[in-house]
Amino acid sequence: MILWIFCFLPIICYGLFRFSRRHLYRVANKVTGTEDDIAFFGIAPYLIGGSERTMDKLQEYSYVTTSVGGFAKSWVGPLLYYMVTDAEKIEIILKQHLEKDNILRFIRFAIGYASIFAPVSIWRPRRKIAVPSFSPKIISNFVDVFARESHTLVHKLKPMVGIRSFKIWKHLNAYSLDAVMETAMGVHVNAQENHDNPILTATNRILDYVSERIFKLWLQPDWLYKWFPQHGKLVYYCKVLHDYTDEIIEKKRKQVAEREIAKANGTTQAHQPLNFLDLLINLSGGEKGYSNMELREEVMTFIIAAMDTSAVSMGFTLMLLAKYPEAQQKVFEELDAVFGKSDRLLEKDDLPKLQYLERVIKEALRLYPSVPIIIRTTTEDVVAFKENMTLLKGSGIIVSIWGIHRNPKYWGPDAHCFDPDRFLPERIDGVPSCAFIPFSHGPRNCLGYQYAMMSMKTVLSSILRRYRVVGEPEAGPIPHIRVRMEIMLKPIDGFEVTLEER
């Protein structure tokens, strides 16, 4: 008798669980779903098996969603997710549904409640403070930093000339940290001089462990994760980065206070270029503004977000130029027209002249967005869109940037092809704004878009003025790069390229 109870108890519990959620299933059944859903598990089993397999399935679901009109559903265990690849629906979602999905709690474990990942109640006031820090006038002052660090990068790449298929990622990664740390906090970490730099190592390991936890379901429960060795390592690397950041913040507060005293006394100090931390202290109200912990959260988020997105995008751009030498030659001709045979560093007035390079970067961002999905969550039942669909409270909404960027409805039948000229003004005119969202869209879009573009244009121009990127030319207009899904999109080969001196 007891054996029968144990056999039927799970079935009875599952039946009661289904019955309690009958309204959810009734509403969800009105939306087209994927064919992969398995009872209770949904598509979860298909997302297990490595970062490449995960990205393959996300691509597949994106294309299925596009084929049924840009809106479809999937179950991940008991959780309901909608996927969207329609520009009109994406615009509504990104403007009206501002709460981030709970999956971001793993990132918050490492960096706290910074504005990018924070709940709306924390994000809204912090956003207002951060916006002035990213004005074009302020960001343009960082170009000198980008140019100087790019010069160092070009020098560090010289020993790699002629080496077949070396991984350029570690060089781009180190450049990004050097540039970000100087512009964010006014400090020099010299990661390009030492790729084993403890701050670089800690930042990369934190991203690795957080990514692993997001995509391995058995690592997600807090009580269980503490039993895995990754937990202790993540705590250690977080402490390394937190302690370093806290020390810089204390020093910066003293510097800001000294400047205020000097100003009040009518004396002057040597000019110190402003950085993101300076601006946050001042804009938040000085000593009465952000606490040290809030400053750390904002600065760490800026460091992690700006570092990886720029490095990933530059890596994909170089790989695409290696596959399409004709496009690379056009970039070089544009650079030659601006710089000639000069070895001078790039200046901010040069950036607007690099229009074809900018189109190449945008096309790389379209085909290989550094963040291929955005996940929001609904906080109440909402009747949405022209179809009057009901989005139930607690449901996840996956905005597939990968899918919208390759949707033929907006990009034509050649949506999968590499064509930088699709961003010519006469061709991009009329394409919905939400059809190209590498830095998101709406109230919670990425404030660092112009910062990233300036940094990428500076670095890529520096590299391509001196080196030719060589690879196996692609047989057709559709590039084939095997990719994997971590927090960022990355190629399987680790950004392998070959350089030749010009």
Q: Which residue has the tokens 């130029």?
A: 321
In this prediction, residue 413 has a pLDDT band, given cuts at 50, 70 and 90, of very high
Q: How far apart are CA 70 and CA 86, in angstroms?
A: 4
Q: What is the rounded average pLDDT of the residues 93-109?
A: 87
Top pLDDT among 144 and 14 is at 144
- Is there a contact between 273 and 148 (Cβ–Cβ < 8 Å)? no
Q: Tell me: pLDDT of 412 over 90.
A: yes
CA angle 491, 493, 495 (to 5 degrees): 70
For residue 48, the model assigns a pLDDT of 73
For residue 18, the model assigns a pLDDT of 59
Q: How far apart are CA 15 and CA 381, in angstroms?
A: 24
Residue 24 CA, distance from chain mean position: 32
Structure tokens at 459: 């670095």
Q: What is the rounded average pLDDT of the residues 372-383?
A: 89
The least confident of 112-116, 180-184, 454-458 is 112-116
For residue 339, the model assigns a pLDDT of 95
Residue 154 CA, distance from chain mean position: 25
pLDDT tens per residue across span 284-327: 888 888 999 999 998 888 888 888 889 999 999 999 999 999 99
In this prediction, residue 53 has a pLDDT band, given cuts at 50, 70 and 90, of confident
pLDDT tens per residue across span 63-78: 999 999 999 988 887 8
Within 21-141, residue ranges assigned H as helices are 22-28, 51-67, 87-96, 105-111, 120-130, 136-140
pLDDT tens per residue across span 131-158: 888 888 889 999 999 999 999 999 999 9
Q: Where does 168-245 show beta strands of DSSP type E?
A: none
Q: How far apart are CA 458 and CA 101, in angstroms?
A: 34
Q: Tell me: pLDDT of 86 over 70.
A: yes
Q: Tell me: pLDDT of 247 over 70.
A: yes
Which residues lie across from 79 on neighbouring strands?
A: 76
For residue 35, the model assigns a pLDDT of 66
The DSSP line for 227-253 is TSHHHHHHHHHHHHHHHHHHHHHHHHH
Eight-state DSSP code of residue 474: -
Q: Which residue has the tokens 């474990």?
A: 109
Rg over alpha carbons for the chain, rounded to the nearest Å, is 24
Q: What is the rounded average pLDDT of the residues 402-423?
A: 97
Q: Which CATH number fits domain 31-501: 3.40.50.150, 1.10.10.10, 1.10.630.10, 3.40.50.1360?
A: 1.10.630.10
Q: How far apart are CA 177 and CA 172, in angstroms?
A: 9
CA count, 13 A, side-chain hemisphere, 328: 23
- Is there a contact between 191 and 306 (Cβ–Cβ < 8 Å)? no
Distance from first CA to last CA of the chain, Å, rounded?
82
Q: Tell me: pLDDT of 1 over 60.
A: no
pTM, 2 dp: 0.93
For residue 349, the model assigns a pLDDT of 95
